Amino acid sequence: MYRYDERDRAIIRDRVTQFRSQTERYLAGELTEEEFLPLRLQNGLYIQRLAPMLRIAVPYGLLNSTQLRRLARITRDYDKGYAHFTTRHNVQLNWPQLEDVPSILAELAEVDMHSVQTSGNCIRNTTSDPYAGVARDEIADPRPYCELIRQWSTFHPEFAFLPRKFKIAVSGSEQDRAAIRVHDIGVQIVKRGGEIGFQILVGGGLGRTPILAEEIRDFLPEEDLLSYLEAIVRIYNQLGRRDNKFKARIKILVKALGVEEFARRVEDEWARIKDGAEKLTPEALAWAKSFFTAPKYETFDGASSDADLQTQADGDKAFSRWLERNTFPHRVPGYRAVRLSTKPTGVPPGDVTDRQLEAIADLADSFSFGEARVTHDQNVVLADVPQNRLYELWQEARKYGFATPNIGTLTDMICCPGGDYCSLANAKSIPVAEAIQRKFDDLDYLYDLGDLNLNISGCMNACGHHHVGHIGILGVDKKGEEFYQVQLGGSSSENASLAKVLGPSFSRAEVPDVIGKILDLYIEQRQPEEHFLDTYQRIGLQPFKESVYANAK
Partner 1 sequence: MPTPNKQPANPAELIIDEAIAENQWRLLPQSEEGSEISAETLAPGKVILPFSIWSALKGSLTERASEIGVWLDSDESADLIGTDATTLPLIAVNFPAFTDGRGFTTGRLLRERYGFQGELRAVGAFIRDQLTYLRRCGFNAFAYEGEQPLKKLLDSMYDFSESYQTSVDQPLPMFRRRSL
Residues in touch with partner 1 (CB under 8 A): 5, 7, 10-11, 14-15, 17-18, 21-22, 30-31, 35, 38-39, 121, 148, 151-152, 154-162, 226, 234, 237-238, 242-243, 272, 276-278, 280-281, 283-284, 286-288
- Nearest residue (CB) to partner 1, 16 versus 352: 16
Give CA–CA dist 128/233, Å, rounded.
19
Angle between helices 511-525 and 532-539 (to 10 degrees): 80
Give CA–CA dist 299/386, Å, rounded.
10
Q: How far is the CB of 260 from partner 1 (least distance, A)?
A: 21
Q: Which of 78, 90, 24 is nearest to 51 (CA)?
A: 78
- Nearest residue (CB) to partner 1, 34 versus 442: 34
530 CB burial (10 A radius; 0-12, 13-18, 19+): middle
- Nearest residue (CB) to partner 1, 154 versus 437: 154
Give CA–CA dist 63/297, Å, rounded.
19
Long-range contacts of 361-364 (CB under 8 A, 24+ apart): 361/65, 361/66, 361/68, 361/69, 361/72, 362/65, 363/393, 363/396, 363/397, 363/400, 363/402, 364/64, 364/65, 364/68
Q: How far is the CB of 5 from partner 1 (least distance, A)?
A: 8
- Nearest residue (CB) to partner 1, 191 versus 264: 264
Residues paired with 477 in a beta bridge: 482
- Nearest residue (CB) to partner 1, 18 versus 388: 18
Q: How far is the CB of 151 from partner 1 (least distance, A)?
A: 4
Q: How far is the CB of 273 from partner 1 (least distance, A)?
A: 9
Q: Cα–chain-centroid distance for residue 308?
A: 34
Question: 481-488 and 414-415 as β-strands: parallel, antiparallel, unpaired?
Answer: unpaired
Q: How far is the CB of 284 from partner 1 (least distance, A)?
A: 4
- Nearest residue (CB) to partner 1, 43 versus 128: 43
Residues 6 or more apart whose CB falls under 8 angstroms from that of 384 comprise 134, 295, 297, 330, 332, 335, 337, 368, 369, 371
- Nearest residue (CB) to partner 1, 235 versus 364: 235
Q: How far is the CB of 40 from partner 1 (least distance, A)?
A: 11
- Nearest residue (CB) to partner 1, 131 versus 152: 152
Helix H segments across 97-142? 101-109
Q: How far is the CB of 195 from partner 1 (least distance, A)?
A: 20
Q: Which of 417, 508, 509 is nearest to 461 (CA)?
A: 417
**Angle (CA) 284 289 290, round 5°:** 95
- Nearest residue (CB) to partner 1, 78 versus 287: 287
295 vs 2, 332, 448, CA distance in Å? 13, 11, 37
- Residue 341 DSSP one-character state: P
Contact by Cβ (8 Å): 336, 324: no
* SS3 of residue 76 by DSSP: helix
- Nearest residue (CB) to partner 1, 19 versus 402: 19
Q: How far is the CB of 39 from partner 1 (least distance, A)?
A: 6
Residues paired with 476 in a beta bridge: 483
Give CA–CA dist 66/63, Å, rounded.
8
Q: How far is the CB of 13 from partner 1 (least distance, A)?
A: 9
Residues 6 or more apart whose CB falls under 8 angstroms from that of 246 comprise 208, 209
Length of the chain: 553
The gap between the terminal CA atoms of the chain, to the nearest Å, is 58
Residues paired with 488 in a beta bridge: 471, 500
- Nearest residue (CB) to partner 1, 149 versus 380: 149
- Nearest residue (CB) to partner 1, 57 versus 514: 57
Q: How far is the CB of 15 from partner 1 (least distance, A)?
A: 8
Amino acid at 36: F
Q: How far is the CB of 548 from partner 1 (least distance, A)?
A: 44
- Nearest residue (CB) to partner 1, 28 versus 550: 28
Q: How far is the CB of 270 from partner 1 (least distance, A)?
A: 13
Q: How far is the CB of 185 from partner 1 (least distance, A)?
A: 16
Give CA–CA dist 459/477, Å, rounded.
9
